Amino acid sequence: MKLKIAIACLAVLIVLISVIPSFRTSVLNSLSAIYASVLVSLTNQNRAAANIAELKINPLLEKAAQMKADDMASKSYFAHNTPEGKTPWYFVEQAGYKYIYAGENLAVNFENSEDVETAWMNSRGHFLNIMNPKFTEIGIATSTGIYKGRTAVFVVQMFGAPVK
């Protein structure tokens, strides 16, 4: 009897995932093992190892990162500039973040936070953003979409130094 109930529940879940796009997206997002809080912690661990001050989470940078991640996921692109030519700073400004310095790291097609951070640390440009002592704040977000014909998790890491 328990097996029949489990099979019925699985069948309902499969139907929901296949016919309701928003349900599919929320399920896929929850299956992603990429977590903003883990990425912030890993980023700050790398900075601390180099005696660089930790980054504080800023809700406006999180909003900017979410807008950019959602934009990439909804339009199936992976680039710092949008297909319409909008720069990363467009999203930062739309979120209402006033900055002196800002930076952006992107990742796609990773399955966990540790692999994302490792890839960023092994890429000179991403590494320089992570280790930039001018940055004092951070916001990270993920979004699930289609990239190159397959489901992908887009990761956006925004850095900033606010106007004082």
CA distance 125 to 76: 23
Per the model's pLDDT, the better-predicted residue between 67 and 164 turns out to be 67
Beta carbons of 71 and 92 less than 8 angstroms apart: no
Find residue 144's DSSP bridge partners: 153
CA distance 54 to 74: 32
What is the maximal distance between C-alpha atoms in the chain? Answer: 64
Buried (b) or exposed (e) across 32-62, using 16+ Cβ within 10 A?
bebebebbbebbbebbeeeeeeebeebebbb
pLDDT at 1 over 70: no
* Residue-by-residue DSSP string for 58-104: -HHHHHHHHHHHHHHHHHT--SSS-TT---HHHHHHHTT--EEEEEE
- Report pLDDT digits (tens) over 17-41: 455 544 444 444 444 589 999 999 9
What's the pLDDT at 2? 54
21-31 vs 2-19: helix crossing angle, rounded to 10: 110
Selected residue with higher pLDDT from 11 and 98: 98
Backbone angles phi, psi at 100, to 5 degrees: -95, -45
Q: pLDDT digits over 97-125, tens only?
A: 999 999 999 999 999 999 999 999 999 99
pTM above 0.85, yes or no: no
Q: Look at residue 4 and tell me whether its pLDDT is greater than 70.
A: no
